[in-house]
Chains A and B, each alone.
Chain A
Amino acid sequence: MIPDWMTSAPRPFDTVLVANRGEIAVRVLRAAKESGLRGVAVYSDPDEGSLHVENADQAVHLPGTTLADTYLNGDAIIEAARSTGAQAIHPGFGFLSERADFANAVKSAGLIWIGPPAAAIDTMGDKISARRCMIESGVPVIPGEEISIGGDSDHLGVLASAAARVGYPLLLKASAGGGGKGMRSVHEPKMLRTEYEAAAREATAAFGDGTVYVERLLKGARHVEIQVLADSQGNCIHLNERDCSLQRRHQKVIEEAPSPAVTPTIREAMGEAAVQAAKAVDYEGAGTVEFLLSDRGEFFFLEMNTRLQVEHPVTEMITGIDIVQKQFEVAAGLPLGLSQSDIGITGHSMEARIYAEDPSKGFLPAIGDLAMWRAPAGPGIRVDTGVREGDAVTVDFDPMLAKLIVHAPTRTAAARRLDNALSDLRALGVITNIGFLRQMTTHPDFISGGITTDYLDSRDISDFAEPDPDPAILVAIAAAASRFGLDRAGSGSSESFVDEHTGHSGDPFRTLTRSFP
């Protein structure tokens, strides 16, 4: 049944298929439910019974062992939509979200694509055409050059001369890369070959394309991005900025909104540039225009992500706008119903990405079973999770488990709330970056708001090591837990224990020490 709010829409739908997994699939499926829509999940074998499947009204199994068989299998996903009566497909982020051919295939199948037009994905998805388009529409870009590498030609020679013209330090980007994959910084000419080969391999492994882009690496710059929303009537607004400067090897660690480095003047100029960028490609739906902000307040277009971003929640917290709900509305053909003057900033929001990884071992991904997963709760705390207690963390997918988002009146209060919430997140059984995130949120450099994109990579990670624990306490707890037999029946043991003498159920020691009035 079409929900009330959509009955007058040009392209109404009542069922949405989410072509993704993990926390973003959960997020979109919950938003669908809240909007009165039916949600359909797809899942591959390792995700059978996973949280995103649990949050769907219906779930379709994608057989096969590789991503190409499953979450990257456009035909199977479109067939799943047909068989379940889903009229619309939401791609989430990653996987098929930035594949213009998939967007086209969805539309050709007579389905609604919850995303921008395929042409916009195409233009922005290729860093080189995006850059050309931005130059034409007057959006500032970073000095750089494209390298067309064909077959077995002398690509290193071509690359080296382009690198010399652009100047070191520089950034090598595989044209089809993203999320830190296929991107390498090169500080001196002799490292060019090694880094190029690594970038090309990563990009081919993850995205299947080997073209390279060389650009000047701006030192001491911040990563600031603008969330945009556009409808099919030509309205386009921005929802202010997010600051994602705290990165490790181009993977964002903590994001926040608003940016501590953005003044109202910069915000207005950057917002206008972002809207200009979106309009240049006739954008529709939710998108993000990323900029590098120099310490002198100049900003340069980095790229446009033609999809929902991992860090979209911080914008939702400060603007009060549900971006996924807006994606549904725009996809149905409804106008935004918002003008730029409706958009304000309330308080400050931060997001920490919870990864299954070991900071003490070079952030190596970790695997295991989540023997305990208890997320914090309270005013101003939001947890977007893809996992539950008892779930297995495997090598099959990205190691991001969840996002912990806080909202508070001020930046200082938000940082404290984030640290507090992190300390309450009880994730046992899999090594995570939670302790590292706590060190980060309480670090003077973070508190002062002066973090730049090169900060973490130029630091010794041991600077963020957790304080040494008191071994006596931990050993006593381990020994006591063993003595109490907490390992034998898991967390439910106390409920099943019945004392032979008293007939009381529960812990025998509790029975003995209980005092009655």
Chain B
Amino acid sequence: MEWSIGESGVRYIAKLSDSEGTLSLTELTRDGHEAPHSEIGITRDSQGARLLVDIDGSAHIAHVAKVGDDWWIHINGRIHVVHGHEPGSADSTAGEGGLTAPMPGTILEVHAKAGQRVREGQTLLVMEAMKMEHRIQAPKAGEVLSVNFAEGDRVDMGATLVELGD
């Protein structure tokens, strides 16, 4: 399994060795290159969703929950999301020029049309979700290839709203 953390597209692979129930991190690769890491040993606590994590000799508790392909981890007072990827799979979050709906909602305003050149940060669409307005802005300068929705359309989360080219 390959892993990425939060919004970052960096892929990690962890090699673990099992010694009497303690899984130790023996190798970490970061985008295919070996990366330095702390001494980490993990044991399963009797509580189902709890792990005992030894980091360089100090003990920590991690609470984990699996949602889809993601592991949600609470450790040291912070919450993190680690995404699981099948090895070699494409990174779905990498910018392919498509701007997707961050939430299910309704399109209120369309400010871009196909063929138009837009600058970075320019508002392309305004959508309403959960009673608040959200501006969909161009992440980079470029040419609008297509606008896939019109005012008043309902959109699902992840729907491609605008295709943006260079």
Report if B42 contacts A (CB, 8 A).
yes
Question: How many Å from the CB of B3 to the closest CB on chain A?
Answer: 5
Question: How many Å from the CB of A295 to the closest CB on chain B?
Answer: 30
Report if B114 contacts A (CB, 8 A).
no
A-B pairs with beta carbons under 8 Å apart, 25 shown? A201-B133, A205-B128, A365-B103, A367-B157, A371-B67, A372-B72, A398-B131, A424-B77, A432-B79, A434-B79, A435-B79, A471-B10, A471-B28, A473-B55, A475-B82, A476-B14, A477-B51, A486-B49, A486-B51, A486-B66, A494-B44, A509-B43, A509-B44, A510-B44, A513-B20
Interface string of A461-479 (1 = CB under 8 A from B): 0000011011111111111
> Are A423 and B28 in touch, CB under 8 angstroms?
no
Question: How many Å from the CB of B97 to the closest CB on chain A?
Answer: 19
Partner of B5, one of A423, A474, A484, A506: A474
> Are B75 and A477 in touch, CB under 8 angstroms?
yes
Report if A443 contacts B (CB, 8 A).
no
Cα–Cα distance between A206 and B75 once the two chains are bound (Å): 39
Cα–Cα distance between A173 and B131 once the two chains are bound (Å): 16
Collect the chain B residues with CB atoms within 8 Å of residue A475's CB.
3, 5, 12-14, 28, 82
Collect the chain A residues with CB atoms within 8 Å of residue B3's CB.
474-475, 478-479
Within 8 A of A (CB), among B74-100: 74-82, 84
Collect the chain A residues with CB atoms within 8 Å of residue B21's CB.
507-510, 512-513
Which of A361, A395, A470, A471 counts the most chain B CB atoms within 10 A? A471
Report if B162 contacts A (CB, 8 A).
no
> Are B129 and A395 in touch, CB under 8 angstroms?
yes
Report if A487 contacts B (CB, 8 A).
yes
> Are B44 and A426 in touch, CB under 8 angstroms?
no
How many residues of B are counted as interface, with CB atoms below 8 angstroms from the partner's CB atoms? Answer: 63
Interface string of B130-143 (1 = CB under 8 A from A): 11111000000000
Collect the chain B residues with CB atoms within 8 Å of residue A371's CB.
65-67, 72
Q: A438-B77, A478-B73, A479-B14 are in contact. List 9 more A-B contacts (CB 8 A).
A: A364-B103, A428-B74, A471-B5, A472-B25, A475-B82, A483-B16, A494-B48, A495-B48, A510-B44
Cα–Cα distance between A489 and B49 once the two chains are bound (Å): 10
Partner of B63, one of A202, A426, A510: A426
Give 6 nearest A-B pairs by CB, closest first.
A509-B21, A423-B77, A472-B37, A487-B66, A371-B65, A428-B72
Collect the chain B residues with CB atoms within 8 Å of residue A422's CB.
77
Report if B113 contacts A (CB, 8 A).
no
Collect the chain B residues with CB atoms within 8 Å of residue A423's CB.
76-78
Report if A347 contacts B (CB, 8 A).
no
Question: How many Å from the CB of A460 to the closest CB on chain B?
Answer: 14
Q: Assuming A438-B77, A509-B20, is B65 touching A428 (CB within 8 A)?
A: yes
Report if B108 contacts A (CB, 8 A).
yes
Which of A205, A371, A434, A475 counts the most chain B CB atoms within 10 A? A475
| CB-based nearest B residue for A427 | B79
Question: How many Å from the CB of B51 to the closest CB on chain A?
Answer: 6
Collect the chain A residues with CB atoms within 8 Å of residue B7's CB.
360
Q: Interface range on chain A: under 10, 10 to 19, 20 to 34, or 35 or more? A: 35 or more
Partner of B82, one of A360, A435, A477, A490: A477
Partner-A contacts on B (CB < 8 A) = 1, 3, 5, 7, 10, 12-14, 16, 18, 20-23, 25, 28, 30, 35, 37-38, 40, 42-44, 46-49, 51, 53, 55, 62-67, 71-82, 84, 102-105, 108, 128-134, 157
> Are A512 and B79 in touch, CB under 8 angstroms?
no
Cα–Cα distance between A491 and B63 once the two chains are bound (Å): 10
> Are B25 and A469 in touch, CB under 8 angstroms?
no
Partner-B contacts on A (CB < 8 A) = 181, 198, 201-202, 205-206, 360-362, 364-365, 367-369, 371-372, 374, 395, 397-399, 422-424, 426-429, 431-432, 434-435, 438, 466-467, 469-484, 486-487, 489-495, 506-510, 512-513
Question: How many Å from the CB of A355 to the closest CB on chain B?
Answer: 10
> Are B5 and A483 in touch, CB under 8 angstroms?
no
Collect the chain A residues with CB atoms within 8 Å of residue B64's CB.
428, 477-478, 481, 486
> Are A473 and B134 in touch, CB under 8 angstroms?
no
Cα–Cα distance between A395 and B46 once the two chains are bound (Å): 36
Collect the chain A residues with CB atoms within 8 Å of residue B67's CB.
368-369, 371, 428-429
Partner of B38, one of A365, A466, A472, A507: A472
Collect the chain A residues with CB atoms within 8 Å of residue B128's CB.
205
Cα–Cα distance between A364 and B12 once the two chains are bound (Å): 28
Collect the chain A residues with CB atoms within 8 Å of residue B76's CB.
423
> Are A477 and B102 in touch, CB under 8 angstroms?
no
Which of B14, B63, B65, B75 counts the most chain A CB atoms within 10 A? B65
> Are A474 and B82 in touch, CB under 8 angstroms?
yes
Question: How many Å from the CB of B153 to the closest CB on chain A?
Answer: 16
| CB-based nearest B residue for A67 | B131
Collect the chain B residues with CB atoms within 8 Å of residue A487's CB.
66, 71
